[in-house]
Structure 1
Amino acid sequence: MLNKEDEKLLALLQRDARASISDLARALQLSRTTVQNRLQKLQDNGIIKGFTVELGESYLSNLVSAHVSIKVKQKLTARTNVELRQMPQIAALYAISGEYDLIAIVQAQTTEQLSHLLDDIGNLEGVERTTSSVILETKFHR
């Protein structure tokens, strides 16, 4: 269970995961050693899984994004999921019901890169077929 200081530490890290231990200690009015110990405890307990980069809107707005519906051979589903996870251009992968088994949210810097990515996905051994929808405009995002 988290105490108030842990919750405050998490909130500070969510705002800026690159904040120094000294800055965190100052903001929490705790010693550097205490903050380091709390941070290590949060990591050891699986509360903090890692530190990531949040991409800026100016970069994200220039990416070409698409939803890719993927039909997978059932016997190769696990293998296909592993291969898809290794493609850094796939931002998310969802298992779905219906005619297709998966939907991948993909992002590329150009339409040419997107085309190559779609070919790479379609050529995976477990993939039977794909259908892609390029996102033209975001109406809203929550």
Structure 2
Amino acid sequence: MITEAEEKLLNLLKENVRASISELAAKLKVSRATVQVRMAKLERLGVIKAYTLELGESYIENFISAHVAIATEQAKAIQVSSKLLKISEVTKVHSINGEYDLIAIVKTKTTEILDNILYEIAKVDGVVRTNSSIILATKQRR
């Protein structure tokens, strides 16, 4: 399990994953070496899986988004999900109940690329059929 001090470090990283070791050390009032040791431990334990990039809305809104419902052969659903996540334009795969087994979230720059991705998804071993919906607009609470 992780300590309270490590939780504080994680919270700072959630706020700004690009913070320098020096900045983190200053905010936590510990040495740089202490921060490095704690980060190494969290990485080793698998608590920190990766340091990622979160794209801003001004960039993302230029993409075409689609939800692709996917029916799979039941015995291959997990393998299908893993294969889908290897397609760079597939950002998420949700396991669902009902007529379809998975929903893949796809983001592309053009409809031509989307068409190619949909074909690539259909070819994945274990995919029985798909049904795609392109997102036209998004409304959300503020």
Residue 96 in 1 paired to residue 103 in 2? no
Unaligned stretches of 5+ residues in structure 2: none
Equivalent in the alignment of 1:85: 85
Residue 113 in 1 paired to residue 116 in 2? no
Structure 1 segment 1-142 matched on structure 2, within 5 A: 1-140=1-140
Unaligned stretches of 5+ residues in structure 1: none
RMSD: 1.8
Cα separation, 1, equivalents of 2:2 and 2:71: 42
Cα shift at 1:11 = 1.6
- Aligned CA distance change for structure 1 residues 75 and 8 (closer, same or farther; 3 Å): closer
1:48-102, Cα deviation, whole Å (9 max, x unpaired) = 2221111111111111101101011224333322211211111111111111111
Q: Between Structure 1 and Structure 2, how many residues are aligned?
A: 142
TM-score, length-normalised on structure 1?
0.90
Cα separation, 1, equivalents of 2:120 and 2:33: 48
SS, match of residue 67 in structure 2? strand
